[in-house]
Amino acid sequence: AHVWRGVLREYADRLGVTDASTVVTLGEGGTPLLPAPSLSRRTGAEVWVKFEGMNPTGSFKDRGMTVALSRAVEHGAKAVICASTGNTSASAAAYAAHAGITAAVLVPEGKIAMGKLSQAVIHNGQLIQIRGNFDDCLEIARELADSYPVHLVNSVNPDRIEGQKTAAYEVVEVLGDAPDFHFIPVGNAGNYTAYSRGYREEAERGVATRVPRMFGFQAEGSAPLVRGEIVKNPETVASAIRIGNPASWELALEARDATDGWFGAIDDERILAAQKLLAGEVGIFVEPASAISVAGLLDRAEAGIIPAGSRVVLTVTGHGLKDPQWALRNADGSTVEPTVVDATTSEVASVLGLQPSA
Ligand code: F0G
């Protein structure tokens, strides 16, 4: 049996690891790529789901964070800093804890999911809530890193993109080639950029015969790449991608053009319906931002853009347990109330609609 050693060691030759002693890893990467028969049936495509919630802190951020923290330690950094809608802060705090250095994390006040806030706190992150949105947090983090001895680990740090591109390597390894389409949520567009780069490298190496068309999705209320302009007050239930001014805007447009890609917007109700569908029919529980990949596929299939039999990969970026409140919300906004009965077998059988076996 092969024991997975984290992306820096698994892909040492391709990520340029020079000194194995400074590798900071929690065993990230090597996540499942799962067939999704129900989505295949609904769309006529062959659909696979790359479940990035299975990383150590529950999101794809860990792939980039192992590289960013390893490099920071190599350069003698004692503190890292990031702005975050939640997942980056959870990952930075965990990897910094493992490395024995400090992580300062700036988050928009009251706007990140409880699970993510809990992670940053328990990993000893220096958590500061900013009275502002994510874009304000990123501006402050960048200015601090320019003028103070703190190392920036947002995806504007190229080490992050380098680590995250390994997910595309894994897809190609499992499928034996790149898919025809790749669907992915977009906030800062760092991950969109990373997958595009990973796939391009695989094609250049001759391991893949094609690069997939990269289809990125933003929430309707925070879709600057779709609108072509900065969104001042982004709003969506998908708090992870509530971003009005993506840091990797230019790189993302380049990647879109190079792959015949596309950016689309999906409203909150469709995001939440897709989250329920993926959990209920495929068995994968993701946070709302991640479900936008599923909603995006259904949208494009309905629009007739996906030829029958196309091979499609969806990245779902973060685990549902990070932000569980949406699972207990009905489509009409009311709260799910589980049935309560007395402690008798007959009453439970009756509620379940069971008849005694013959
Ligand atoms: N999905 C999830 C669950 C995320 O947390 C993020 C970004 C994205 C998708 C979008 O990725 O920014 O590379 O386009 N979260 C960042 C954070 C902003 O701070 O955790 P992107």
CB 294 within 8 A of CB 279: no
DSSP 240: G
Q: Is the pLDDT of residue 20 over 80?
A: no
29-49 residue pLDDT tens: 999 999 999 999 999 999 999
pLDDT number for residue 336:
94
Whole-complex ipTM: 0.99
pLDDT number for residue 331:
84
Mean model confidence pLDDT for the chain: 97
239-250 residue pLDDT tens: 999 999 999 999
pLDDT number for residue 6:
96
244-277 residue pLDDT tens: 999 999 999 999 999 999 999 999 999 999 999 9
Whole-angstrom Cα distance, residue 57 to residue 300? 31
Residue located via tokens 């960013």: 68
pTM across the whole model: 0.97
pLDDT number for residue 202:
98
Nearest C-alpha neighbor of 313 from the set 28, 11, 51, 7: 51
Structural domains present in the chain: 7-59+160-328 (3.40.50.1100), 61-156 (3.40.50.1100)
Average pLDDT over residues 196-215: 98
SS (H, E, C) 271-298: HHHHHHHHHHHHCCCECHHHHHHHHHHH
> Coil, strand or helix: which one is 319?
strand
pLDDT number for residue 2:
85
106-142 residue pLDDT tens: 999 999 999 999 999 999 999 999 999 999 999 999 9
In 10 A of CB 131, how many CB atoms?
8
pLDDT number for residue 54:
98
Give the pairing of strands 46-51 and 33-35.
antiparallel
> Coil, strand or helix: which one is 312?
strand
Band of residue 21 on the pLDDT scale cut at 50, 70, 90: confident
Q: Tell the residue nearest (CA) to atom 3 of ligand 1.
A: 318
315-347 residue pLDDT tens: 999 999 999 999 999 988 899 999 999 999 999
Q: Is 84 in the pocket of ligand 1 (CB under 6 A)?
A: yes
Band of residue 5 on the pLDDT scale cut at 50, 70, 90: very high
Residue 216 Cα: closest atom of ligand 1: 14
Tokens of 217: 């999705």
Q: Is 275 in the pocket of ligand 1 (CB under 6 A)?
A: no
Q: Is 58 in the pocket of ligand 1 (CB under 6 A)?
A: no
pLDDT number for residue 196:
98
Pocket test for ligand 1, best of 55, 59, 133 (most atoms within 8 A of CB): 59
Band of residue 151 on the pLDDT scale cut at 50, 70, 90: very high
